[in-house]
Amino acid sequence: MAVITISGQIGTGAREVGRLAAEQLQIDYVDQQILVEAARELGVSMESIASLDERTASLSDRLAAMLRRFLERSATAGAADPMLGSDGLDIMLSRSYSEAAAGEGLQEVPDDRYAAALGDIICELAGPGDVLIIGRGSQVILKDRLDALHVLLVAPEVHRIEEIARREGLNAEEAVSSVREREKGRVSFHRKFFEVETNDPSLYHLTLNTARLSGEEVAQIISETAQRIDAQR
């Protein structure tokens, strides 16, 4: 099954749509929070990783093994590298778009080192396929992967503000500020690390308006498109 990436403007419900599509396709779903939780639970022994059966292991086990392999490769950068160890990895993965674009947290890590590390993790995550990845520049990192389906979710700002206000219990003023600041961070993140305009439709196979389609309809379109790509391989 193809690899799917979903990038969404703030308030378009990318995570909800992604979970629905992954469930329909019976593939793994991975977003930022799942990666952060995996990094925080890296107390996996080398013995358990060595004996890991990728065919039957849980997603959390596979993510832990993948992150452990990443740390082992990163060790060649030197023991002083602040990204070595689960604590540094946790901080790196948990940074919001705005924090990463502003260089907050792990300030001693150069931008190119951060981008390379994120790229390595996304590439390994996508390795065998059968995975849907939310954001983190995955649509750019995996742009040359022939079996990848890249999706952009958009909606008018007024709709996105209403969604964030409803979902997060914010008043109108708070919702406007939240949407605009977070979207600014998302755009800045992609400009800084990948030199792209993240809402440029040419980066994607599909651009879907979540103000005009329900989450279930969007997920169904993504699922059907992914199946057609898979059938053509």
Instruction: Give the integer Cα–Cα distance in Å for 81 and 84.
Output: 6
- Of 176, 208, 224, 231, the closest CA to residue 7 belongs to 208
Question: Domains in the chain and their CATH numbers?
Answer: 3-232 (3.40.50.300)
Q: Scan for tokens 């790196």, then name that residue.
A: 92
Cα–Cα separations (whole angstroms), residue 147 to 47, 63, 98, 134: 33, 21, 30, 16
Instruction: Give the integer Cα–Cα distance in Å for 183 and 188.
Output: 8
Q: Scan for tokens 């059968």, then name that residue.
A: 130
Q: What pLDDT is recorded for position 105? A: 62
Residue with the bigger pLDDT between 179 and 38: it is: 179
Q: pTM for this one?
A: 0.85
pLDDT digits (tens, 9 = 90+) for 37-90: 877 766 544 444 444 444 445 677 778 777 887 777 766 655 445 555 556 777
- Residue 69, classified by CB atoms within 10 Å of its CB into exposed (0-12), middle (13-18) or buried (19+), is middle
pLDDT digits (tens, 9 = 90+) for 87-118: 677 777 888 888 888 877 666 667 788 888 88
Question: Helix, strand or coil for residue 5?
Answer: strand
Look up residue 180 and give its two tokens: 């605009």
